[in-house]
Amino acid sequence: MAGTVKVLLLAGGQGTRLWPKSRRLLPKQFMTLGLAETLFQRSLRRLQNLPDSYEVYVVAPQIYESIVKSQAPGLRASRILTEPMAHGTVATLSFSLCRLQAESLCEDDVILTLPTDAYVDDDAAFIEAITTAVDSCRHSGDIVTVGIRPDRPETGYGYILTGEMVEPAGRRVEKFVEKPSIIKAKEYLENTRYLWNAGIFAWRVRELWDLLQVHLPHVFDACQSVLTDEIWVDHAKLTEWYERLPNQTFEYALVEKASRIRVIPARFSWSDLGTWDALLRHLPMMGTSESGASVVSLDSTDNQVFHEDGLIALFGVQNLLVVRTKDVVLVCQRDKAADLKTLLSVLRETQKDEYL
């Protein structure tokens, strides 16, 4: 008999890539970004028509627990898995696996991990892709991911090189490629074997435990040590245990080391909205361009502007990103905007944490 599907909506984040609009206390998935709902709410609503065998959970650091509850008032408290802190997706996945195992998790169950900070244009096609991924995972035991057909050369995304077709669905994954150069990205755009990595993964529980035991044995041992413990009601002990887990991504630590991975090519458009360029391209109602009513531009070209009120005047400048919020103004070259973490590290070093 087929097991259940535990859908983990990953709602962590540091609020760095769309700074200063997004902040440590309010990362992008909890902002409306010009839409009627936040990206988190859209992610949750998108899953309403899943079969009854799918159980939806939200996994988020404790710092975001109140936001999750306010933005998802219909979600049962037992479906919110609260991490002690943000500590990388290996820790998130291990924590969630242990929590579910301590309650009721079978080795034939499938865990489906979904980000909540991406823009998807076709909910029906999304559901088709993830259910196909789950079914393929359940029957094959492979890790199954969902890939997006590129529509432009993108240096900020990871790519998947696909291989031969496999049954019951999808293609074999030959390798993952992280953030290529613009020259490589243009090559990948012309080569139909390359897809964008959307960060969506289906894993069967027994294979997930095997992956941890082989590639992260210290994490496997740490997980086994708390499966029958009362640590879940002792916040101090849980935090101490959690801090000892590695601060790594599960894509790097587990997925890329697995021998059996397949990908389902998706039919929906997707963006992780991970840069200001991506955000303003997909959600033009968010801000204004140079032709907008609250932007005056003279002898200026190729600039991007986001602001919440007032006027932005551009005179004799090119290729700038200008972002103004109530307490911060950001001005940078557009090609620097994808590396805002470097700037934010300087703010930390100079003790300007109130702006992070």
Q: Taking phi first (over 0 means left), then psi (-120 to 50 degrees means alpha), and beta for anything else, what does residue 319 get?
A: left
What is the distance between the alpha carbons of residues 201 and 203, in angstroms, rounded to a whole number?
Answer: 7
Tell which residue, 145, 158, 117, has the closest CA to residue 203: 145
CA 154-158-163 angle, 5° bins:
110
Q: Length of the chain, please?
A: 356
Quote the mean pLDDT of the chain.
91
Q: How sure is the predictor about 284, in pLDDT bands with cuts at 50, 70 and 90?
A: low
Q: Compute the chain's Rg from CA coordinates.
A: 21
Q: What angle do CA 21, 26, 32 make, to 5 degrees?
A: 70
Return the ∠ at Cα 131 (arms to 47 and 6), rounded to 5°: 65
* Residues 249 and 328 reside in one and the same domain: no
CB 111 within 8 A of CB 137: no
Q: Do 205 and 320 fall within a single domain?
A: no
pLDDT in tens, 219-238: 999 999 998 777 888 889 99
- Strand-pair partners of 264: 146
Phi, psi of 70 (to 5 degrees): -75, -35
Q: Are 265 and 171 in contact (CB under 8 A)?
A: yes
pLDDT tens figures, 163-202: 999 988 899 999 999 889 999 999 999 999 999 999 999 9
CA distance 38 to 21: 14
Please measure the distance between the N-terminal and C-terminal CA atoms of the chain and give it in whole angstroms: 49
Task: Record the tokens describing residue 158, joined without a space.
Answer: 């990871």
Examine the pLDDT at 11 and tell me if it is beyond 70. Answer: yes
207 and 292 housed in the same domain: no
Among candidate residues 216, 278, 204, the one with its CA nearest the CA of residue 248: 216
Residue 246 in this model has a pLDDT that exceeds 60: yes
Boundary-marking domain end, from 274, 298, 316: 274
pLDDT of amino acid 192: 95
CATH at 66: 3.90.550.10
Banded pLDDT at 289 (limits 50, 70, 90) = very low
Residue 114 domain-assigned (yes or no): yes
Does the residue 280 lie in any domain?
A: no
- How many alpha carbons fall within 13 Å on the CB side of residue 265? 15
Note whether 242 and 296 are same-domain residues.
Answer: no
Using the 3D structure, point to which of 274, 308, 343 is the last residue of a domain.
274
| % residues pLDDT > 70 (the chain) | 96
Side-chain half-sphere exposure of 225, counting CA atoms within 13 A: 12
**Percent of the chain scored above 90 by pLDDT?**
76
Q: In terms of domains, do 267 and 307 share one?
A: no
5-18 as b/e: b if 16+ CB within 10 A: bbbbbbbbbebbbb
201 and 327, same domain (yes or no): no
Output the DSSP codes for 77-96: GGGEEEESS---HHHHHHHH
Residues 296 and 238 reside in one and the same domain? no
The answer to whether residue 78 is domain-embedded is: yes
Q: Domain boundary at 251, 274, 297, which? A: 274
**Integer angstrom CA distances of residue 81 from 68, 184, 236, 282:** 11, 39, 16, 31
In this structure, are 86 and 166 located in the same domain? Answer: yes
Per-residue model confidence as pLDDT tens digits over 35-85: 789 999 999 999 998 999 999 999 999 999 999 999 999 999 999 999 999
Banded pLDDT at 283 (limits 50, 70, 90):
low
**Is residue 281 included in any domain, yes or no?**
no
Query: What's the pLDDT score for residue 2?
Result: 67
Residue 39 lies in a domain: yes
Range of the domain at 60: 5-274
Distance CA 300, CA 319 (A): 8
Closest CA to 17 of 342, 348, 349: 342
Q: Are residues 41 and 183 in the same domain?
A: yes
Asked if residue 294 and residue 265 are part of one domain, the reply reads no
Which pLDDT does position 278 carry in this prediction? 84
On whether residue 65 sits in a domain, the answer given is yes
Is pLDDT at 254 greater than 90 in this prediction?
A: yes
Residue 113 CB contacts under 8 Å (≥ 6 apart), including other chains: 8, 10, 89, 93, 199, 200, 201, 202, 203, 250
Helices (H), the chain: 39-46, 65-71, 89-104, 123-140, 182-190, 205-215, 217-226, 235-243, 250-253, 276-282, 340-349
Are 35 and 162 part of one and the same domain? yes
343 belongs to a structural domain:
yes
What's the angle, vertex CA 3, arms to CA 203 and CA 82, rounded to 5? 60
> How many domains, the chain?
2
Decide if 334 is inside a domain. yes
Tens-digit pLDDT profile for residues 333-355: 998 988 898 999 999 999 999 99
Q: Both tokens of residue 117?
A: 């900070």
- Whether residue 145 is found in the same domain as residue 79: yes
